[in-house]
């Protein structure tokens, strides 16, 4: 009896930890490659990278700033949600990278007699679209519990070539 109880607890623990790993709409967030400071997971989706000393990759740092400037007024500080827009730390547990990209580009509406939820479309806004991977990576790190609230304390240096790429995207 006792043995079975322990075995059952072990199985429950195993199931629980499997679920916890999969609670990311884009799958395993582990970085498997990087190009000019932008990390990607095994599926090729943008992801975060955190050094042993807590230093976050450049994109995660940029994502924090861009999220705060463009999304926070509706989605709340640190992706935690507000009364009029969902907590993106929760949304990213099921939404994939391409779904996030689609929603930010094209917007989304859920308007009826009881509520008026409108996510604007940012497809033509360079302040958002030039940084969408950074914003995604930051929110992914928040959703996976890899980055806490507030501005990450230690951020990796700006990758070589980043500034030129940014200028080209912003059209300056």
100 binds ligand HEC (CB under 6 A): yes
What the block records as the tokens of 41 is: 């997971």
Distance CA 138, CA 136 (A): 5
Tell which residue, 6, 2, 126, 15, has the closest CA to residue 66: 126
* Minimum gap (Å) between residue 155 Cβ and ligand HEC: 20
Beta strands in the chain (DSSP E): 33-35, 38-40, 46-47, 108-111, 116-119
Q: Single out the segment in contact with ligand HEC by CB under 6 A; choices: 12-20, 32-40, 83-91, 148-156.
A: 83-91
84 binds ligand HEC (CB under 6 A): yes
Of 18, 33, 110, 153, which lies in the binding site for ligand HEC, with binding defined by CB under 6 A?
Answer: 110
* Binding residues for ligand HEC (CB under 6 A): 70-71, 73-75, 84-86, 88, 91, 95, 100, 103-104, 108-110, 117-120, 122, 128, 135
């Amino acid at each position: 009896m006792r043995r079975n109880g322990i075995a059952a607890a072990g199985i429950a623990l195993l199931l629980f930890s499997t679920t916890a790993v999969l609670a990311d709409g884009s799958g395993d967030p582990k970085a498997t490659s990087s190009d000019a400071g932008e990390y990607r997971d095994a599926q090729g989706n943008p992801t975060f990278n955190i050094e042993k000393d807590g230093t976050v990759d450049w994109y995660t740092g940029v994502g924090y700033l861009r999220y705060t400037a463009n999304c926070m007024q509706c989605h709340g500080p640190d992706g935690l949600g507000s009364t009029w827009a969902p907590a993106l730390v929760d949304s990213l547990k099921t939404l994939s990278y391409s779904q996030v990209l689609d929603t930010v580009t094209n917007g989304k509406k859920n308007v009826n007699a009881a509520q008026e939820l409108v996510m604007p479309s940012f497809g033509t806004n360079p302040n958002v679209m030039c940084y969408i991977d950074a914003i995604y990576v930051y929110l992914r790190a928040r959703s996976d519990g890899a980055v806490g609230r507030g501005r990450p304390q230690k951020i990796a240096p700006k990758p070589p070539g980043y500034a030129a790429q940014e200028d080209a995207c912003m059209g300056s």
